[in-house]
Amino acid sequence: MTLIATDFQPLRSRILVNGIVQGVGFRPFVFNLAEECGLTGFVANSSNGVEIEIEGDGDSIAKFHRCLNTQAPPLAVLVKIEKADIPPQFESTFKIISSKRTHSAATLISPDVAVCPNCLSELFDPTDRRFQYPFINCTNCGPRYTIIEAIPYDRPFTSMRHFKMCPECQQEYDDPRNRRFHAQPNACPTCGPKIWLVNGDNKPVAGEALDLALELIESGNILAVRGLGGFHLVVDATNQDAVMRLRERKHREAKPLAVMFPSLEAITREVQINATESALLTSFIAPIVLCKKLLVATIADAVAPHHSRLGVMLPYTPLHHLLLSHFGKPLVMTSANLSEEPICITNPEALTRLNGIADYFLLHDRDIYLRNDDSVMIHLAGKNRMIRRSRGFVPRPIFLPASGPSVLAVGGELKNTVCLTRQNQAFLSPYIGDMENLETYHSFEQTISHLQRVLEVKPELIIHDLHPDYLATQWAMKQGIPTLAVQHHHAHLAAAMAENCLTEPVIGVILDGTGFGTDGNIWGGEILVGDASAFSRFGHLENMLLPGGNAAIRAPWRTAVAYLRQSFDTKLPQLDILRNWEIGPILEMVSSRTNSPYTSSMGRLFDAISALAGGPGEIRYEGEAAIALMQACTDLNVPPFTFGIRSQESVKILCVKPLIRDVAHAILDGADFTMISNRFHRTLVNWLVKILELARRSTGINQIVLSGGVFQNEILLEALIPRLQSKNFEVFAHELVPTNDGGLALGQALIGQKYLEKMRLKQKG
Ligand code: ZN
Ligand code: ZN
Ligand code: FE
C-alpha cells in the first residue's frame, strides 16, 4: 500500500536567530540548507535578527536544526536561537523574502572583513570581469560596519545606495546560489565605486590612478590613500628620507609607524613571528600585530626608531592588495591625521586637513560613515592581546556576565572609546583617540549617535570619569540623562571583570599613568579590592609630589628630580641628571609644594627611574621613557632594590623613597641602564607578589585582575602572571579589550548597569 500525499501532515517550525547573521551569507546558507533537507518555508532578515520558517517531515526538520548550528558560514556568530512549532502553511517552495522592519532590535552587525581568498583570486585573474577592481567583495568579505548608516543591513541603508547595480551584478545579488547573493556592497567596474588620483589642489592627475600612485610612492612622495575605515598616509617603508619627511609633516617625531607588507613571507624577513601571530595576521580581521624585530632590517630606521617591536600587517582591502602586489616592497601605512587628531574619512576632509602633509591623494567614492582605525594587537604571556580595538572587531559585542539596562559609558581622556550596552551585550566603539582637540570631540559625538542609531537603544544612564575637567565628563553633564561618576581605576578593575565574566569581588592590580582619585590626588599604582558595585583601596604607591602636575608627563627628568628631592631631602646624590637640567625651579616647586599635586602613579615611577638611569629626559610620545626602560631589561635574575610596604591606617603603602635612594646609590656605584632596569623590574614583581599575598590574607580573595596601561609592559606581565600562579592565585588579564584606557568604557558600563539595578531594587523594596 502506498502512502498518498494527503495523509502526510507536515510540521512547521519558526526559528528566530540572533547574533551576527546579517551580511555574512547567512540567508543563502539557510536557503541552501532548507533545499538540501527538502523543506519549504522562508527566511528573512529583520531587526530582530534572522527569521526562519521551515516546513516538512520531522526528520528533515531535525536535520535542519542540527546543521543550522554546526554548518553556519564562517563570519556568522549565533548568539541565541529560539524555536516554536506553528501550524503548517502548505507552500511548495522555500523563499528568501526581503527585509522586514520591526521594532525591537537585537541584530548584530558584522565588523568589516578582509577580502576573502575567492575574491582575491578573481582580483588577479585577467579573465575575470572584476580583474584588478579595487572594490571586489562578496557575502564573505568586504566593508560592513563602516558603510552602514542604519539597520537592517540592506543596501539602501549603506553608502552603496548611490550605486545602482548593473544587470550582471544584480543577477549575482538576486541568486541565492551565487556567493554574492545579497552582498550589499556588491559592485563591478561598470557600476560600482571608482578610484582616482589628485594632487594637493584637488586637480586630477592624468593617467591610470593605480599606476600613478605606485610611481609617486616609488619616487618618495607621501600619498593619502582612502581605505576602509579612513585614510592612510603611505610612503615607501624602505625610503628613509620619505619616512623622515612624513614624520616631520605629521608632527610625529618618534612614535613607531605601522607597515603593510606584500606577503607573510616578507613579514618573516623583518620580524619574528610565531604560529599564533601569523594566524592573526592572515585572519579576516587582519590587524596590526606588534612583533619582535629581527636584527637585520630592510625597512628604514626611521619607521620604528629605538623600538624592539614593529607593527606589521597584511593587505586587507583589494586596493591594498593591488598596491602591495605591484609595489613589491613594504609600505608605511599610518592613520592619516595630524598627531592626536582623528583619522580622516571623507575626501574633502582629507584634502583640507592633510593639505601640506600628503603630496597626492588616492581617492574613492564609496563613503565611509564611521571612522575605524586599524586594530593593534600583541602576543604576550601566551595570548593575543588588544592594544587598540577597532577595525575587524567593532561592533562585535563583549558579552557581560548578566543582562541589564542600557547605559552609555563615555570613557576617559586618552585613547578614548565609548561603550553602549544592550541587554548583556556591551558595544565598545572604535578607537576615538585623545580628547584634546575639537576634531576628536566631534568624532566622539558622531560615534555616540551612530552607535545609538545602529543599535537602536537609548541609554538610561551616562557614566563618565570622576575627573571633572575631562571633555567626555563635560559632554555627559549636558545630555539631560542621569549621570554617574566612576573612579578611573575602579573602571579599569570592572573592565577586566567584564571581559573575564567575573562577578565575585576580586583584587585588582591597577597600574597606569593618571587617574583622578576619590581623595583628589592623582592615582595610578593601585591595589583595589571590589567588584562592579563598590571598591576599596587596599594599597597604593606612596604619594609623591609631582612638580607642575601634567607638565611632568612630557618631561620625566622633572619627575626624577622631584622624586630624588623627596627621597634625599636636601643632600642630593651627585647624579648626571642633576647636572643636565635646569633643576632649581623644580626643587623650589617641591620644597614649597606649589603646583605639585600628590601622585601614586606607577607610570610616573617608571618615568623617574628611567630618567635617573639615563633614559629620555623628555619624551615625544606617551610612555616613551617607560618603554625605553622596559626594552633595556635583559634578565630578572638579579637582586631587587629595597621594596618596603608599610601600613598607614588601614591602607598599605608601597614605599617609593627607599627605592629611589637604592636606585640612586646603584647608579653612583656604576650600574648601567640595563642593570637598573633588570633590578627595577625584579623589584616590582616581588613587591606586587608580596602585597597581593597580604591582600589575600586580609580578604580571603584569590582572584586577581591586572589592568591599566602599565600592563602593556611585557616584562612585567610575563613575569608577574606565572609568579602569581605559582602562589596559587587565579590571575586574569585583558585580551578582548585594551588594558590601557581604550578599555575603560567597558568597565564604566558594567559599573553603571550594576548601579541602576541597585537603584531599582531600592525603589521596589
Ligand atoms: Zn569575498
Ligand atoms: Zn556591476
Ligand atoms: Fe588608565
Q: How far apart are CA 162 and CA 150, in angstroms?
A: 15
651 lies in the same domain as 674:
yes
d(CA 159, ligand 2 centre) in Å: 16
Place of cell 542540527: 66
468 lies in the same domain as 437:
yes
Residue type, position 337, single letter? N
Beta-bridge partners for 423: 404
Neighbours of 9 (CB within 10 A): 7
Examine the fold and report which residue of 193, 215, 233 is the final residue of a domain before the chain moves on.
Answer: 193
CA 75-77-78 angle, to 5 degrees, is 145
Provide the CATH number for the domain around residue 444: 3.30.420.360
d(CA 173, ligand 2 centre) in Å: 10
What is the sign, positive or negative, of the torsion defined by CA atoms of 119, 123, 125, 127?
positive
Place of cell 582612502: 226
d(CA 193, ligand 2 centre) in Å: 10
Domain span holding position 350: 195-364
Closest ligand to the CA of 711: 3
Half-sphere exposure of 584 (CA within 13 A, CB side): 1
d(CA 467, ligand 3 centre) in Å: 12
**What was the pLDDT predicted at 103?**
40
3-state SS, residue 489: helix
Pairing outcome for strands 651-654 and 730-732: unpaired
d(CA 283, ligand 1 centre) in Å: 13
379: in domain: no
d(CA 43, ligand 2 centre) in Å: 26
Half-sphere exposure of 388 (CA within 13 A, CB side): 22
463 lies in the same domain as 563:
no
558: in domain: yes
Closest ligand to the CA of 515: 3
Neighbours of 482 (CB within 10 A): 15
Closest ligand to the CA of 708: 3
Residues near 420 by beta carbon (within 8 Å), at least 6 away in sequence: 406, 407, 408, 409, 426, 427, 429, 448, 451, 452, 455, 457, 459, 749
d(CA 613, ligand 2 centre) in Å: 63
d(CA 524, ligand 3 centre) in Å: 7
Question: Strand (E) positions, 215-364?
Answer: 223-226, 231-236, 259-260, 288-292, 309-313, 331-335, 360-364
180 lies in the same domain as 281:
no
d(CA 130, ligand 2 centre) in Å: 9
Pairing outcome for strands 195-199 and 544-545: unpaired
Closest ligand to the CA of 516: 3
283 lies in the same domain as 145:
no
492: in domain: no
Closest ligand to the CA of 744: 3
d(CA 496, ligand 3 centre) in Å: 12
d(CA 282, ligand 1 centre) in Å: 14
52 lies in the same domain as 145:
no
pLDDT per residue as tens digits for the range 640-670? 999 999 999 999 999 999 999 999 999 999 9
d(CA 457, ligand 1 centre) in Å: 31
286 lies in the same domain as 225:
yes
- Number of domains comprising the chain: 5
Closest ligand to the CA of 493: 3
d(CA 412, ligand 3 centre) in Å: 8
Q: How far apart are CA 561 and CA 576, in angstroms?
A: 11
Region of residue 549 (left: phi > 0; alpha: psi -120 to 50; beta: else) = left
Closest ligand to the CA of 183: 1
Q: How far apart are CA 332 and CA 272, in angstroms?
A: 19
CA-CA distances (angstroms) from residue 69 to 64, 65, 203, 378? 9, 7, 53, 31
Which grid cell is 63? 536535520
Q: How far apart are CA 671 and CA 673, in angstroms?
A: 7
Closest ligand to the CA of 413: 3
Place of cell 593619502: 224
178: in domain: yes
d(CA 168, ligand 1 centre) in Å: 17
109, 11, 6: which is closest to 65 by C-alpha? 11
d(CA 136, ligand 1 centre) in Å: 7
98 lies in the same domain as 137:
no
375: in domain: no
Closest ligand to the CA of 487: 3
Pairing outcome for strands 703-707 and 730-732: parallel
607 lies in the same domain as 727:
yes
**What was the pLDDT predicted at 764?**
85
d(CA 415, ligand 3 centre) in Å: 10
**What was the pLDDT predicted at 77?**
84
Closest ligand to the CA of 191: 2
Closest ligand to the CA of 414: 3
199, 218, 200, 197: which is closest to 208 by C-alpha? 197
d(CA 546, ligand 3 centre) in Å: 18
3: in domain: no
601 lies in the same domain as 473:
no
d(CA 357, ligand 3 centre) in Å: 32
pLDDT per residue as tens digits for the range 221-245? 999 999 999 999 999 999 999 999 9
Residues near 668 by beta carbon (within 8 Å), at least 6 away in sequence: 573, 574, 575
d(CA 645, ligand 3 centre) in Å: 23
Examine the fold and report which residue of 177, 193, 209 is the final residue of a domain before the chain moves on.
Answer: 193
Closest ligand to the CA of 747: 3
Virtual torsion, Cα 594, 598, 604, 609, nearest 10 deg: 80
Provide the CATH number for the domain around residue 89: 3.30.70.100
**What was the pLDDT predicted at 4?**
46
d(CA 513, ligand 3 centre) in Å: 6
Closest ligand to the CA of 75: 1
Closest ligand to the CA of 122: 1
206: in domain: yes
Q: Is 437 exposed, middle or buried (0-12, 13-18, 19+ CB in 10 A)?
A: middle
Half-sphere exposure of 22 (CA within 13 A, CB side): 31
d(CA 217, ligand 1 centre) in Å: 28
457 neighbors 105 (Cβ within 8 angstroms) = yes
354 lies in the same domain as 234:
yes
Q: Is the peptide bond before 395 cis (omega within 30 degrees of 0)?
A: yes
Per-residue buried b or exposed e for 263-296, using 16+ beta carbons within 10 Å of the residue's own CB: eeebbeebbebeeebbebbeebbbbbbbbebeee
710, 613, 699, 716: which is closest to 664 by C-alpha? 613
CA-CA distances (angstroms) from residue 621 to 254, 626, 631? 7, 11, 16
Closest ligand to the CA of 166: 2
Residues with CB under 5 A from ligand 2 (ion): 166, 169, 188, 190-191
d(CA 143, ligand 2 centre) in Å: 17
400 lies in the same domain as 527:
no
652, 664, 659: which is closest to 697 by C-alpha? 652
pLDDT per residue as tens digits for the range 49-78? 889 999 999 999 999 999 998 898 877 888
Examine the fold and report which residue of 322, 344, 364 is the final residue of a domain before the chain moves on.
Answer: 364
d(CA 562, ligand 3 centre) in Å: 23
- What residues of the chain score a pLDDT lower than 50? 1-5, 102-104
d(CA 503, ligand 3 centre) in Å: 21
Closest ligand to the CA of 284: 1
d(CA 68, ligand 1 centre) in Å: 22
d(CA 164, ligand 2 centre) in Å: 8
Closest ligand to the CA of 188: 2
Provide the CATH number for the domain around residue 670: 3.30.420.40
Backbone angles phi, psi at 145, to 5 degrees: -55, -40
Neighbours of 86 (CB within 10 A): 11
Backbone angles phi, psi at 304, to 5 degrees: -145, 65
Which grid cell is 363? 581617492
Which grid cell is 192? 560600482
CA 518-519-520 angle, to 5 degrees, is 90
